[in-house]
Amino acid sequence: MKLKFLGTRGYIEPKNRRHNNHTSLMIIQNSKKIMIDCGETFKNKLKKIKPDHIVITHAHPDHAFGLEKGAFCPVWATKTTWKLIDHFPIDKKFRKIIYPRKKQKIANVTFEAFKVEHSIKAPAVGYRISYKKKAFFYVPDVLWIIDRKAAFKNIIFYIGDGATIQRVMVRKDKKTNQIYGHANIRQQLTWCRKEKVKKMIITHLGSDVVKNEKKAKKIIERLAIDREVDFEIAFDRKEIDLD
């Protein structure tokens, strides 16, 4: 199984050659291609990418609006997400539902959705993804993982949210007091240490990284060393071979 990062940029204006497309991960297994998230930058690129399946984490523009013109393959999402993108011209036969904490095989790869705190208007999930005896967890937008111990159990690495390095990006809804936003990289490295996950791969990059990746890498390196966790900063077209 091979992983290819099709995009690593968050919903920000800054971009460069390494971080141009909105965050998306392609899983390639036995010639089948599973695309996780399809943001606005992919709106006119699906015919070239030719995914066999598309899996969505949530309905924000940088994760789902590449489907505004429809899709020619099965699209997997939670019921909540489907309600928010119901107006997209996607044929009923391609509309597939993923249920949280219920394992779903897609092209022989097992996906298990975990609810996460991130957005009030567009509730998100992360995915525990496994093939044979290897598993990893993928969540490009996250403030908190509801059942982190189960999500991280025996994973080879965690692919997480790079919106900020140490800056707090948490807000509270004035009516409900519900919090939403992004956990910073420092917090997520701490999660890895607590759950004995040896490596974090950082995607969905914010301005902290995209504007000056060299400087950002030095800061993250100190945080990672303190927590005894390895890290990598993902970039568009980066590939990982899991075989």
Domain chopping of the chain, boundaries: 2-237
Task: State the CB neighbour count (10 A cutoff) for residue 8.
Answer: 28
pLDDT tens across 78-114, in order?
999 999 999 999 999 999 999 999 999 999 999 999 9
pLDDT tens across 108-133, in order?
999 999 999 999 999 999 999 999 99
pLDDT tens across 222-240, in order?
999 999 999 999 999 999 9
Mean pLDDT of all residues in 17-27: 98
Which pLDDT does position 58 carry in this prediction? 98
Pick the CATH number of 2-237 from 3.60.15.10, 1.10.10.60, 2.60.40.720, 1.10.3720.10: 3.60.15.10
Does this model's pTM top 0.85? My answer is yes
